[in-house]
Amino acid sequence: MKKEVTVQAKTVEEAVAEGAVQLGTDKSGVIYEVIEEAKKGFLGMGSAPAKVKVTYVMKPLEAARNFVETLIADLELDAQVVIHDDGNGEALMEIVGPDASALIGHHGDTLDAFQYLVNLAANKKETDERKYTRISVDIENYREKREQALRALADRMAAKVKKNGRSITLEPMNAYERRIIHAQVQTIDGVSTSSVGPEGNRRVVIYTEGSEKPTEESVAKSEHDSSRRDRRNQKNSRQKKAPRQKTEEQSSRETTYKRPANAPRPQPRKIEKAKDLDAYFAKLKEFSSNNPN
């Protein structure tokens, strides 16, 4: 990454010095291009200042810091950048502050994308002398916590495979996380690992040693069979529960409507007036005509 300014001054040297000050460095750290030479003129008439384009090519870590601080400011996050440089072409960048966790994302997806962009900004080729610098980005010690969680996951799944004798396919992971799973399982006897699937959806399969190495087709078939088995088990479970629920409902109805054996029969309503009797027979006749059986 580079920064440029165009400066006018009485001489080229003065323009370069002024440009370096504006770029926050000294003359030795910049390169320049003379656009127009200074003109003295005659008796002060027709004179013109020198016009120079001054360029400062940032070092990788400077470019990375500038990129991240600009991004944090644009996102209005309360966070700061701390860089640890080992001097051997590798560095660790830590993002700290109350809003730093917003850059982690689900299982570190946002953090991985962020790290990729940081390395692009740091290693943009501006001059042939510039050396590649690898920058690892971490937020709230997420990398170490995630590694511990993945190793624990590998241990649990390996134990399950050894117990059941069936392979287990983990969720899609990036290359860095898959390497952690592979390395951890290698320390456990009786199980092995393999990666299947296209890049971007690549997954680790843990299987018993001595069995056939899993392929993408065998994993897909196994998942399909497992899905069918689960649906069949759910259907059988519903069928087993249905009769029992019906029996309970029937029992509930019997308890609700059955008259106890020792209870007296209810007395019929006393018809006190003749019009009540006429109305009663009229309804009975209507019911009979509507229900001939």
- Residue 245 has a pLDDT of 52
Structure confidence by residue, pLDDT tens digits, 48-94: 888 888 877 778 888 888 889 999 999 999 999 999 987 788 899 99
Cα 212 to Cα 7: distance, rounded to the nearest angstrom: 70
- The CATH class of the 145-219 domain is alpha beta
pLDDT score, position 271: 46
Give the position of tokens 């690992």: 193
> Degrees (nearest 5) of the Cα angle 231, 233, 236?
110
Q: What is the pLDDT of residue 147?
A: 92
Q: How far apart are CA 68 and CA 82, in angstroms?
A: 11
Q: Does 145-219 match 61-140 at the fold level?
A: no
Per-residue model confidence (pLDDT) at position 3: 75
CATH of domain 61-140: 3.30.300.20
Nearest-angstrom CA–CA distance, 148 and 32: 51
Domain boundaries, the chain: 2-57, 61-140, 145-219
Dist CA 168 CA 207 (whole Å): 7
d(CA 112, CA 138): 9
Q: Kindly give the parts of the chain with pLDDT less than 50.
A: 255, 271, 273-274
Collapsing DSSP states into helix, strand and coil, what is residue 6?
A: strand
Query: How far is CA 123 from its chain centroid?
Result: 26
Tokens of 77: 């996050």
* Tally of helices (H runs) and strands (E runs) in the chain: 7, 9
Find the helix or strand (DSSP H, E) in which 184 lies: helix 175-185
